[in-house]
Structure 1
């Protein structure tokens, strides 16, 4: 469903990504682990069509991305360190803005459905600048899902969430997977959201250090493999 082929990216004199390739078939849930500076967020931004690689290509479906056409961007929902929300607008107005941007029909019903999914119905008409960090993260999730994207890209999605928020997001991810969405999640956690992951990539120094399925993988085995690979 989404693929990066021979992706390289340099910022100044630093090679952030070094000729890496990753393919995520439709319906697969992949987690990306790695130390700070490994290139995880840069890879996610390139796959999300927010940033362009210095070399290599991104393919969504069977289409190679050259000029990032808007119809392909509509296939993607992204949750990143930036909320992409407008603080002076209410939660409803933010979702209404993005819904109109994507040309959604029956928009009010879709806003209510997605705001219920993230547990913010009571805050629907509150201005976003009054939201806590956890509430902002929940609304960011709603914003990313309002257009029912086929590919969901998440950069540290559990950051700022309390235990209720963590449980809620885990349920959202489980629901997305059951609906055969393609998911890539950048994370530092060995636990949050990992129960439903099909495959793990470990990035280190801008390269893929490991790529393996999670079937029958114990938490202690994952930690051991991780520390072996990032120590290289």
Structure 2
């Protein structure tokens, strides 16, 4: 997929919402920004430490045969953080899964799996989040929890880039919006100025 003329900056303490139709290039752009795909031209510059970035996508980065607690222990070690049992239980409690700490991740519902993956993300103490439709398929309670956590991360100074199809649900979270149409940016500006019906008022992000 070819992305054309996109120039965007992710700020600390800001949520950038990336929206557009299917096939517009949202997920491709997010993967490039997160360093999971390499552009043929152009550049991506990360000012955040690479170890302080986290990606949450459609497919969870979890091992189904490991328990929720074991998954967090594994990913903590992968990122150089030896989380003790208390710290792992605190993360699970944060996403409402403390009572399921010793259950294998493979038996979890979609909502529980996404919440466990969110706990995995928070175990990295990231300063920059990349989220690809994180609320897709979630029940109302899980989606509300995810949005609350993203708001708190933003308020704590983290930068958040979130791809979403639920503009109505996620726009209230956003500080800025990037709208893609046919792999081009048609709006980039303040969330308060974004009107999906007219797509006017865009400025450089």
Equivalent residue in structure 2 for 1:224, among 197, 201, 205:
197
Q: Which residue matches 2:20?
A: 34
Report the counterpart of residue 68 of structure 1 in structure 2: none
Shift of residue 226, structure 1, vs aligned partner: 5.0
Q: Secondary structure at the match of 2:59?
A: coil
Does 1:22 find its partner at 2:5? Answer: no
Deviation at 1:106, TM superposition (A): 4.3
Select which of 166, 174, 186 maps to 1:209. Answer: 186
1:136 alignment partner, one of 90, 113, 118: 113
Structure 1 residues 110 and 194: CA distance shift in structure 2, 3 A: farther
Report the count of equivalent residues: 201
Misfit runs of 4+, over 4 Å:
none
Partner of 2:161, secondary structure, is strand
CA contact (8 A) 2:111 2:138 kept: yes
User: Residues 21-77 of structure 1: CA distance to partner in whole angstroms, max 9, x if unpaired?
Assistant: 211122111100010111100111111111111111111118xxxxxxxxx431211
Residue 105 of structure 1 deviates from its aligned partner by 4.3
The structure with higher relative contact order (CA 8 Å, sep 6+) is 2
Q: Are residues 1:154 and 2:131 paired? A: yes
Structure (1 or 2) with the greater strand fraction: 1
Q: TM-score if structure 2 supplies the norm length?
A: 0.91
User: Following superposition of structure 1 onto structure 2, how do residues 42-81 of structure 1 map, counting pairs within 5 Å?
Assistant: 42-61=28-47, 72-81=49-58
Distance 1:114 1:203 in 2: 34
Gap regions ≥5 residues in structure 2: none
Equivalent-residue separation in structure 1 for 2:116 and 2:190 (angstroms): 31
Structure 1-normalised TM-score?
0.81
* Residue 103 of structure 1 pairs with residue 80 of structure 2: yes
Cα distance, 1:206 vs. partner? 1.1
User: 2:73·2:82 contact (CA, 8 Å) conserved in 1?
Assistant: no
Q: Is the 8 A contact 1:19 1:56 kept in 2?
A: no
Corresponding residue of 1:186? 163
Q: Say if 1:78 and 1:144, in contact at 8 Å, map to a contact too.
A: yes
Change (3 A) 1:121 1:226: farther
Give the RMSD, CA atoms, in angstroms: 1.9
